[in-house]
Amino acid sequence: MRRAPLIRAAITATGRYMPRRAVPNSHFYGELGLDTNEEWIRSRTGVVERRIADVAGGETTASMSAWAAQQCLQRAGVAPEDVDGIVVATITPDQGVTATACIVQELIGATNAWAFDLVAACSGYVFGLSQATAMVRAGMARRVLVIGAETMSSILDYTDRDTCIIFGDGAGCSLVEAVDEGGLEVLDFAMHAAGAGATLLNVPAGGSVRPASHDTVDERLHFVKQDGRAVFKHAVTRISQVITELLDKNGLTADDVALVVPHQANIRIIEACGRRLKVDMGRIAVSVDRWANTTAATIPTTLDLALEEGRIKPGDLVVFAAFGAGFTWGSALLRA
Ligand code: COA
């Protein structure tokens, strides 16, 4: 059985920012003229609409993160100067060099915080939460903001119906604090990676192997490419496995879990995991219909929504679970 840590780390507040512009499915078969339709998108993905950032109007990965963080800090009653660290999980930073977390630090006035970005795609928030929890428990930090934020629209090929319909933009933030009581205590994690999956889901150019050039732009290599069917199968298998692993090592079963907050890739992935784990949909938080797949932002934004809707009661066990590019996958166990 897990030994209780000397310092208790808990999520004491959350916040989110969703871009103002809601884009319905009709945008793709209407304005963009793609060979797709309402029925296909809704039934194959569960997405009804997604939010798309107005980057020129100021909605960027950093600013969305900052707004989510400000809401989170306000709810916690914590001043920005009292934040020790900021982790931004993202695959769509404002720019290639200079961590988005540093821009956020400046925007919110967290003058005493260190800041770094973390790249683990859709698993980024869970991995970031593990880092924050470990540092708080080790006494290296008392308050860490863990942010999952994406401007996926900046790396989507709007001529590719396989990918562009499933993603959205947004940011979610959690404050992880050393507290004796209250909040959602972070209990444990299970995390994995399998680099063999790197060929199945990626952005081929823009790194040091294929820096931006006329050719890479002409070949549309700066956009997300995926083998959707293969990714789908891996996601269902890995998410189910990693939740079972986490519950097993804590002497729990799926019946003990009050709410699962899964990565929001596709409603069919979520439903398939629920069936495998024998967790009914009433105990699974869903936002893919309204926000689509916002990569690192799905879990913190969906958690924020679940808290807003009063779906987590004192004593409840909550599980987060994610799967994404890398491949990476992981789960977290928390108690309210
Ligand atoms: N509209 C209409 N038809 C579409 C379409 C669209 N937007 N996208 C694909 N299709 C077609 C395909 O071309 C294919 O046609 P074919 O049978 O004539 O070859 C058919 O629909 C089925 O394609 P398939 O890829 O098997 O569909 P799917 O049921 O697997 O759904 C995804 C496609 C991408 C929605 C699904 O695989 C998925 O969600 N995968 C996970 C992706 C993901 O989560 N990535 C992010 C990392 S977590």
324 lines ligand 1 (CB under 6 A): yes
Tokens of 282: 């009433």
User: Which of 5-9, 46-50, 59-63, 91-95 comes out lowest in average pLDDT?
Assistant: 5-9
Is 263 considered catalytic here? yes
Whether 7 shows a pLDDT value over 70: the answer reads yes
C-beta contacts of 309-315 below 8 A and 24+ residues apart: 311/259, 311/285, 312/184, 312/258, 312/259, 312/336, 313/258
229 lines ligand 1 (CB under 6 A): yes
Give the torsion sign (CA, 37, 170, 17, 263): positive
Beta-carbon contacts of residue 215 (< 8 Å; ≥ 6 apart):
none
The string of DSSP letters for 87-103 reads EEE-SS-SSSSS-HHHH
Q: Please give, one letter per residue, the 3-state secondary structure of 230-272.
A: HHHHHHHHHHHHHHHHHHHHCCCCHHHCCEEEECCCCHHHHHH
Q: Please give, one letter per residue, the 3-state secondary structure of 158-173.
A: CCCHHHHCCECEEEEE
Whether 2 shows a pLDDT value over 70: the answer reads no
H helices within 114-204, ranges in order? Answer: 124-137, 161-164
> What is the percent of the chain where pLDDT is above 90?
98
Which letter, b or e, does each residue of 113-136 get, where b requires 16 or more Cβ atoms within 10 Å of its Cβ? bbbebbebbbbbbbbbbbbbbbbb
Q: What is the mean pLDDT of residues 74-93?
A: 98
Are 144 and 174 in contact by the 8 Å Cβ rule? The answer is no
Pocket-testing residue among 32, 41, 44, 91, ligand 1, by greatest number of atoms within 8 A of Cβ:
44
Fold match between domain 9-182 and domain 186-335 = yes
Tell which atom from ligand 1 comes closest to the C-alpha of 122. Answer: 48
Q: In terms of pLDDT, which residue wins out, 90 or 2? A: 90
Nearest residue (by CA) to ligand 1, atom 48, is 324
CATH topology assigned to domain 9-182: Peroxisomal Thiolase; Chain A, domain 1 (3.40.47)
> What is the percent of the chain where pLDDT is above 70?
99
Pairing type for strands 259-262 and 143-151 reads: unpaired
Residue type, 232: F
Q: What is the pLDDT of residues 244-303, one digit of tens each?
A: 999 999 999 999 999 999 999 999 999 999 999 999 999 999 999 999 999 999 999 999
Neighbours of 155 (CB within 10 A): 17
Q: Write the Ramachandran bin of 240: left for phi over 0, alpha for psi from -120 to 50, otherwise beta.
A: alpha
Nearest residue (by CA) to ligand 1, atom 23, is 229
Backbone phi, then psi, for 284, in 5-degree steps? -125, 125
Beta-carbon contacts of residue 109 (< 8 Å; ≥ 6 apart):
80, 81
Q: What is the pLDDT of residues 231-245, one digit of tens each?
A: 999 999 999 999 999
Q: Quick check: helix, strand or coil at residue 178?
A: strand
44 lines ligand 1 (CB under 6 A): yes
Measured CA angle at 81 (ends 119, 127), to 5 deg = 20
Span from the CA of 281 to the centroid of ligand 1 (angstroms): 23
Q: What is the mean pLDDT of the chain?
A: 97
Query: Domain coordinates of the chain in residue numbers?
Result: 9-182, 186-335
CATH number 3.40.47.10 given to 186-335: yes
Q: How confident is the model at residue 4 (pLDDT cuts 50, 70, 90)?
A: confident
Q: What is the pLDDT of residues 116-141, one digit of tens each?
A: 999 999 999 999 999 999 999 999 99
Q: What is the pLDDT of residue 1?
A: 53
**Exactly one of 72, 102, 164, 293 is catalytic; which is it?**
293
45 lines ligand 1 (CB under 6 A): yes
CA neighbours closer than 13 Å in the CB half-sphere of residue 88: 31
Q: What is the mean pLDDT of residues 190-209?
A: 97
232 lines ligand 1 (CB under 6 A): yes
Are 16 and 175 in contact by the 8 Å Cβ rule? The answer is no
**Exactly one of 72, 102, 122, 173 is catalytic; which is it?**
122
Q: What is the pLDDT of residues 278-295, one digit of tens each?
A: 999 999 999 999 999 999
DSSP class of residue 294 equals -
266 lines ligand 1 (CB under 6 A): yes
Span from the CA of 40 to the centroid of ligand 1 (angstroms): 9
Nearest residue (by CA) to ligand 1, atom 9, is 162
Whether 64 shows a pLDDT value over 70: the answer reads yes
Pocket-testing residue among 232, 267, 268, ligand 1, by greatest number of atoms within 8 A of Cβ:
232
CA neighbours closer than 13 Å in the CB half-sphere of residue 32: 18
Q: What is the mean pLDDT of residues 170-184?
A: 97
